[in-house]
Amino acid sequence: MSDKLKVLLQSFHFNQNLIIFADTKAVAILTINGILMGFIVPLGKVLKGMAGYSFGLMLTLYICYLLIAFTCCILCVAVIYPRPHRRGADVADLFNMASIQKHYPNPDDSQSYAENFAQTDIHKLEHDYAVLLHREYLVSAKKYHYVKKSVFFFLISVIFAMTVFTMNVFLNI
């Protein structure tokens, strides 16, 4: 195997790990945000019954929290939804273990695998993996962009949630 192909494969696997990392962070933020919304959203019923000087401030903070929390949820879903598992039909996947097992279910079938590998042009493989690596790089860059935004919106929503909770429960406003 050429050195160029080894570097492409290592970069491809590194990019796949970055995409998995972004997906897990987005799922964690979405879960924590959902739990937080489960505690704060019922306070809206309490706000309906309140009257007085601070009602406008509380309602404004509550609405701001809901908007920011829903924005965070939408950004997290934007990170999780596009899955990079769809591969083009023209991409050679000799190194994909699922494909190898599908075509060669018997692990002792090394003769067929060696013949198939010998018929493959190494330059075509390098080109296919370079194209695949570029596409996966774009996917991981977009996912990390949305993860950064969702973390920012999540932290702002936590600040608003704690303000609403503190004003409603501890200060009894």
Predicted confidence at residue 167, as pLDDT, reads 74
Tens of pLDDT, residue by residue over 1-54, are 577 777 777 887 888 888 888 888 888 888 888 888 887 777 666 665 555 545
Cα separation, 91 vs 124, in Å, equals 9
Mean pLDDT of the region 107-113:
56
Question: What is residue 64's predicted lDDT score, i.e. its pLDDT?
Answer: 83
- Do residues 44 and 139 lie in contact, with contact meaning Cβ atoms separated by under 8 Å? no
On the question of pLDDT at 135 being above 60, the answer is yes
pLDDT attached to residue 95 = 44
What is the dihedral sign for C-alpha 75, 80, 81, 84? positive
Residue partners of 152: CB distance under 8 A and separation at least 6 = none
Of the pLDDT bands very low, low, confident and very high (cuts 50, 70, 90), residue 85 is low
CB contact set of 63 (below 8 Å; sequence gap of 6+): none
Q: What is the pLDDT of residue 34?
A: 83
pLDDT number for residue 53: 47
User: What is the pLDDT at residue 129?
Assistant: 74
Give me the domain span that covers residue 24: 3-170
Instruction: State the virtual CA torsion across 8, 125, 133, 21 in degrees, nearest 10.
Output: -70
- What is the pLDDT at residue 29? 87
- Determine the straight-line distance between the first and last CA of the chain, rounded to whole angstroms: 71
- 68: Cβ–Cβ under 8 A, 6 or more apart, which residues? 153, 156, 157, 160
3-state secondary structure of 27: helix
Mean pLDDT of the chain: 72
Q: How far apart are CA 98 and CA 101, in angstroms?
A: 5
- The domain tally of the chain equals 1
Supply the DSSP symbol for 106: S
Q: What is the pLDDT of residue 96?
A: 47
What percentage of residues in the chain have a pLDDT greater than 90? 0
Compare 71 and 6 and report the one with higher pLDDT. 71
